Amino acid sequence: MKGEELNQLYKDCMDFWGINRQIRMMQEECAELIIAGSHFLRKRKTGYDELVEELADAQLMINQIKTFVGEDNVNKMIDKKSDYIKEKLEERKAQVK
């Protein structure tokens, strides 16, 4: 699935299950992602695959919540945060030189 079909799926999930349940699911998926990150860093045999799977699960839930709060609002905040990160990275790089 791509594009508009995926966006419709996210909206349908939000309409069917509601914001409270989907936020809880997002929390659970983010917690599982944290654990997968730990498993990856500890070099578990399945760590990479687990990390990829949990990234996908968390991203699916995040995308659903974005349909509720408005993707434009999230993108504006991403732009703002990205500018901040870029500034901090440039500062740190300058300190290393």
- For 9-32, the pLDDT digits (tens) are 999 999 999 999 999 999 999 999
Do you know the residue count of the chain?
97
Dihedral of CA 88/91/96/97: which sign? positive
> pLDDT per residue over 64-95, tens digit each?
999 999 999 999 999 999 999 999 999 999 99
Alpha carbon distance 11, 79 (integer Å): 24
What is the residue type of 17? W
Q: Which residues contact 68 (CB under 8 A, 6 or more apart)?
A: 14, 19, 22
Distances (CA, A) of 43 to 34, 48, 56, 60, 79: 14, 8, 20, 25, 33
